[in-house]
Amino acid sequence: MKTAEIEIEKLIPYAKNARNHSDLQVAQIAASIKEFGFNDPIEVDEDNMILAGHGRVLAARKLGMLKVPFVKIDGLSKAQKQAYILTNNKLALNSDWDNELLKIELHDLSDMKFDMAMMGFDGEELSQIMYPEPIKSTDPSDKPLNFSIQYNIVFDDEEQQEVFYAFIRFLKEKFPETDSVGQRLSEYIGELDLG
C-alpha cells in the first residue's frame, strides 16, 4: 500500500462509526502525534470515507493540520467495510499486558524523565502498575503509606492543561528523589514562605 497525503477536508467520516472519542483521548492522540509524528496513516475507501483513523483525524484538526498521511483500501464490499471498521477497533482491545514487563518499561521511562501523562495511562493506573505492593515501614509511628485520592481535573482549554503538566514536570525535576506528586507538592509548599 502506498502512503500519500490528503487534505482533511476531503475525508468523509463513517456516519455510523460506533467508536467514541472523548476530548481527553483526542488530546492524548494529539500529544502522541506531537511527540512521535503522524506514523499511523488514515485508512480510507475509494470515496475517501474513513475506515480507520477517526480519532487521529480529530487530533489532527486539534493540532491545526490541513493534511494527513493516508492509504487507500480498494475492493472491499459494503459489508466488508462495515466489518473492517468494527474489527479494526475491537481487535486492539483484545490484547493484554505482560504486567511485569510493563512495570519495568514504565519505571525505565520514569527514570529517563519521560512525560508519561501523554501516553494514555492515568495516575491511578500508573500507581497500580508501578507500585502494586504497598510500601511498608518498620517504624510503627509512621502513618500508612500508599493511599491514593483520585481527582478529575477539568481544563477549559489546552493551554491550561499544558501549564498544569509543565508544573508537574517542574516538580518532578525539582524533587527527583521523591516518588509521588503528592510528596513533591508537599515539599514544594514547605519551601514557600507563606507567612
Q: Which domain holds residue 10?
A: 4-93
pLDDT tens readout for residues 131-145? 877 656 566 555 555
pLDDT band at 14 (very low <50, low <70, confident <90, very high): very high
> What is the layout of strands, in order, in the sheet containing 67-72?
4-7, 67-72, 42-44, 50-52
pLDDT above 90 for 60: yes
User: What's the whole-number mean pLDDT along residues 47-51?
Assistant: 96
Strand residue runs (E) in the chain = 4-7, 42-44, 50-52, 67-72
pLDDT tens readout for residues 77-95? 999 999 999 998 899 888 8
Residues 87, 26 share a domain? yes
* Assigned C-alpha cell, 115: 512525560
The DSSP line for 55-122 is HHHHHHHHTT-SEEEEEE--S--HHHHHHHHHHHHHHHHT----HHHHHHHHHHHHHTT--GGGGT--
Residues 163, 126 share a domain? no
Residues 67, 84 share a domain? yes
Residues 185, 140 share a domain? no
Residues 173, 110 share a domain? no
Q: Which of 106, 107, 8, 24 is nearest to 65 (CA)?
A: 8
Residues 100, 88 share a domain? no
Residues 106, 183 share a domain? no
pLDDT given at position 50: 97
Q: Specify the number of domains making up the chain.
A: 3
Residues 183, 117 share a domain? no
pLDDT tens readout for residues 106-129? 889 888 888 877 788 888 888 888
pLDDT given at position 139: 61
pLDDT given at position 55: 95
pLDDT above 80 for 67: yes
